[in-house]
Amino acid sequence: MNTSAEDVRASAVRARQAAGQLAPLSRAAKDAALLGMAAALLDRSAEILAANALDTAAARAAGTSAALVDRLTLTPERIEAMADGLRQVAALEDPVGEVVRGRVLPNGLELRQVRVPLGVIGIIYEARPNVTVDAAGLCIKSGNAVLLRGSASALNSNRVLVDVLREAAVAAGLPADGVQLVPGADHDSVKHLMRLRGLVDVLIPRGGAGLIRAVVEESTVPVIETGVGNCHVYVDVDADVDTALAITLNAKTQKVSVCNSAETLLVHAGIAAEFLPRVLTALRDAGVTVHGDETVRAVDPSAVPVTDEDWATEYLSLDMAVGVVDSLDQALDHIRRWSSGHTEAIVTRSLAASRRFVASCDSAAVMVNASTRFTDGERFGMGAEIGISTQKLHARGPMGLPELTSTTWVGIGDGHLV
Amino acid sequence: MNTSAEDVRASAVRARQAAGQLAPLSRAAKDAALLGMAAALLDRSAEILAANALDTAAARAAGTSAALVDRLTLTPERIEAMADGLRQVAALEDPVGEVVRGRVLPNGLELRQVRVPLGVIGIIYEARPNVTVDAAGLCIKSGNAVLLRGSASALNSNRVLVDVLREAAVAAGLPADGVQLVPGADHDSVKHLMRLRGLVDVLIPRGGAGLIRAVVEESTVPVIETGVGNCHVYVDVDADVDTALAITLNAKTQKVSVCNSAETLLVHAGIAAEFLPRVLTALRDAGVTVHGDETVRAVDPSAVPVTDEDWATEYLSLDMAVGVVDSLDQALDHIRRWSSGHTEAIVTRSLAASRRFVASCDSAAVMVNASTRFTDGERFGMGAEIGISTQKLHARGPMGLPELTSTTWVGIGDGHLV
Predicted pLDDT of residue A3: 86
3-state DSSP assignment of residue A118: coil
Average pLDDT of span B324-351: 97
Asked, for residue A13, whether it belongs to a domain, the answer is yes
Average pLDDT of span B332-338: 95
Judged by a CB distance cut-off of 8 A, whether residue A412 touches chain B is yes
Same domain, A214 and A242: no
Query: A39: distance to nearest CA of chain B, Å?
Result: 31
Sign of CA dihedral B379, B382, B384, B386: negative
Angle value at C-alpha B308, between B302 and B312, nearest 5 degrees: 105
Predicted pLDDT of residue B394: 95
Judged by a CB distance cut-off of 8 A, whether residue B118 touches chain A is yes
Q: Could B393 and A222 be called an inter-chain contact, meaning their C-beta atoms sit closer than 8 Å?
A: yes
Predicted pLDDT of residue A164: 98
Asked, for residue A14, whether it belongs to a domain, the answer is yes
Judged by a CB distance cut-off of 8 A, whether residue B23 touches chain A is yes
Cα torsion A23, A408, B93, B403 to 10°: value is 80
Query: Count of A–B CB contacts within 8 Å?
Result: 206
Share of chain B above pLDDT 70, in %: 100
Asked, for residue B389, whether it belongs to a domain, the answer is no
Same domain, B11 and B92: yes
ipTM for the complex shown: 0.92
B274: left (phi over 0), alpha (psi -120 to 50) or beta: alpha
Q: In which band, very low, low, confident or very high, does the pLDDT at A216 lie, cut at 50, 70 and 90? A: confident
Indicate the average pLDDT of chain B: 95
Asked, for residue B385, whether it belongs to a domain, the answer is no
Q: What's the gap between Cα A412 and its chain centre?
A: 38
Same domain, A262 and A151: no
Same domain, B236 and B221: no
Predicted pLDDT of residue A130: 92
Average pLDDT of span A211-237: 90
Same domain, A154 and A46: yes
Predicted pLDDT of residue B385: 87
Judged by a CB distance cut-off of 8 A, whether residue B339 touches chain A is no
Which of B392, B397, B407 has its CB closest to that of A201?
B392
Which of B358, B366, B412 has its CB closest to that of A368?
B412
* β-bridge mates for residue A365, sequence order: A343, B409
Contact status, residue A40 vs residue A165, Cβ threshold 8 Å: yes
Q: What is the pLDDT of residues A42-55, one digit of tens each?
A: 999 999 999 999 99
Where does residue A62 rank: exposed (0-12), middle (13-18), buried (19+ CB within 10 A)? Answer: exposed
Sign of CA dihedral A381, A383, A388, A394: negative
Same domain, A204 and A265: no
Q: Could B250 and A24 be called an inter-chain contact, meaning their C-beta atoms sit closer than 8 Å?
A: no
Asked, for residue A383, whether it belongs to a domain, the answer is no
Indicate the average pLDDT of chain A: 95
Same domain, B308 and B204: no
* β-bridge mates for residue A181, sequence order: A148
- In CATH, what number is assigned to the domain containing residue A374? 3.40.309.10
Same domain, A50 and A109: yes
Q: What is the pLDDT of residues B396-414, one digit of tens each?
A: 999 999 999 999 999 999 9
Judged by a CB distance cut-off of 8 A, whether residue A20 touches chain B is yes
Query: A351: distance to nearest CA of chain B, Å?
Result: 11
Q: How far apart are CA B226 and CA A309, in angstroms?
A: 40
Average pLDDT of span A259-282: 98
CA atoms within 13 A on the CB side of A164: 30
Angle value at C-alpha B57, between B54 and B62, nearest 5 degrees: 125
Q: How far apart are CA A131 and CA B59, in angstroms?
A: 57
Same domain, B157 and B241: no
Residues 253 to 282 of B: which have CB under 8 A from any A CB?
Answer: 254
Q: Is the pLDDT of residue B309 over 80?
A: yes
**Residue of B228, B243, B226, B242 lying closest to B368 (CA atoms):** B243
Residues of B in contact with A236 (CB under 8 A): none
Residue of A nearest to B380 (CA): A105
CA distances from A116 to A404, B53, B224, B290, B344 (A): 9, 48, 18, 34, 16
- Tally the residues of chain A: 418
Q: How far apart are CA B76 and CA B49, in angstroms?
A: 8
Judged by a CB distance cut-off of 8 A, whether residue A201 touches chain B is yes
Asked, for residue A362, whether it belongs to a domain, the answer is yes
Q: How far apart are CA A87 and CA A76, in angstroms?
A: 17
Average pLDDT of span B174-183: 97
Residue of A nearest to B409 (CA): A365
Q: In which band, very low, low, confident or very high, does the pLDDT at B211 lie, cut at 50, 70 and 90? A: confident
Q: Could B414 and A103 be called an inter-chain contact, meaning their C-beta atoms sit closer than 8 Å?
A: no
Query: A274: distance to nearest CA of chain B, Å?
Result: 19
Predicted pLDDT of residue A290: 98
Q: In which band, very low, low, confident or very high, does the pLDDT at B212 lie, cut at 50, 70 and 90? A: confident
Share of chain A above pLDDT 90, in %: 88
Same domain, A360 and A407: no
Residue of A nearest to B225 (CA): A222
Predicted pLDDT of residue B127: 79
Q: In which band, very low, low, confident or very high, does the pLDDT at A203 lie, cut at 50, 70 and 90? A: very high
How many domains does chain A divide into? Answer: 2
Judged by a CB distance cut-off of 8 A, whether residue B364 touches chain A is yes
DSSP B284: H
Q: Could B418 and A373 be called an inter-chain contact, meaning their C-beta atoms sit closer than 8 Å?
A: yes
Helices (H), A300-349: 308-312, 328-338
Residues of B in contact with A381 (CB under 8 A): 103, 105, 111
Predicted pLDDT of residue B226: 85
Residue of A nearest to B373 (CA): A418
Query: A47: distance to nearest CA of chain B, Å?
Result: 36
Task: Read off the pTM.
Answer: 0.91
Residues of A in contact with B105 (CB under 8 A): 379-381
The residue type at B112: R
Average pLDDT of span A257-277: 97
Q: What is the pLDDT of residues B74-108, one digit of tens each?
A: 999 999 999 999 999 999 999 999 999 999 999 99
Residue of A236, A261, A409 for testing the chain B interface, max B β-carbons within 10 Å:
A409
Q: B226-255 burial, b if ≥16 CB within 10 A, otherwise e?
A: bbbbbbbbbbbbbbbeebbbbbbbbbbbbe
Q: In which band, very low, low, confident or very high, does the pLDDT at B184 lie, cut at 50, 70 and 90? A: confident
Residues of B in contact with A414 (CB under 8 A): 243, 369
Predicted pLDDT of residue A385: 87
Q: In which band, very low, low, confident or very high, does the pLDDT at A358 lie, cut at 50, 70 and 90? A: very high
Which of A246, A371, A417 has its CB closest to that of B371?
A417
Asked, for residue B111, whether it belongs to a domain, the answer is yes
Predicted pLDDT of residue B38: 98
Predicted pLDDT of residue B282: 98
Q: What is the pLDDT of residues B116-127, one digit of tens each?
A: 999 999 999 987
Q: What is the pLDDT of residues B25-80, one digit of tens each?
A: 999 999 999 999 999 999 999 999 999 999 999 999 999 999 889 999 999 999 99
Domain extent at residue B171 = 5-225+394-412
Residues of B in contact with A359 (CB under 8 A): 23-24
Contacts of B313 (CB under 8 A, 6+ apart): B230, B263, B319, B321
Residue of A nearest to B16 (CA): A336
CA distances from A401 to A90, A231, A406 (A): 11, 25, 11
Share of chain A above pLDDT 70, in %: 100
Contacts of A351 (CB under 8 A, 6+ apart): none
Residues of A in contact with B224 (CB under 8 A): 393
Q: Could A415 and B224 be called an inter-chain contact, meaning their C-beta atoms sit closer than 8 Å?
A: no
Q: Could A371 and B247 be called an inter-chain contact, meaning their C-beta atoms sit closer than 8 Å?
A: no
Pairing of strands A120-124, A145-149: parallel
Q: Is the pLDDT of residue B227 over 80?
A: no
Judged by a CB distance cut-off of 8 A, whether residue B69 touches chain A is no
> Of B2-6, B184-188, B270-274, which has the strongest mean pLDDT?
B270-274
CA distances from B212 to A7, A144, B186, B313 (A): 28, 26, 16, 15
Asked, for residue A391, whether it belongs to a domain, the answer is no
Query: A247: distance to nearest CA of chain B, Å?
Result: 6
Judged by a CB distance cut-off of 8 A, whether residue B397 touches chain A is yes
Residues of B in contact with A379 (CB under 8 A): 105, 418
Same domain, A103 and A180: yes
Same domain, B208 and B284: no
CA distances from A271 to A238, A240, A282, A307, B167 (A): 8, 10, 16, 23, 43
Q: How far apart are CA B205 and CA B387, in angstroms?
A: 9
Q: Is the pLDDT of residue A1 over 80?
A: no
Average pLDDT of span B260-271: 98
Q: Could B369 and A397 be called an inter-chain contact, meaning their C-beta atoms sit closer than 8 Å?
A: no
Q: Is the pLDDT of residue A333 over 90?
A: yes
- In CATH, what number is assigned to the domain containing residue B59? 3.40.605.10
Q: Could A418 and B354 be called an inter-chain contact, meaning their C-beta atoms sit closer than 8 Å?
A: no
Judged by a CB distance cut-off of 8 A, whether residue B197 touches chain A is yes
Predicted pLDDT of residue B3: 87
Q: Could A417 and B111 be called an inter-chain contact, meaning their C-beta atoms sit closer than 8 Å?
A: no
Residues of A in contact with B413 (CB under 8 A): 367-370
Residues of A in contact with B242 (CB under 8 A): 415
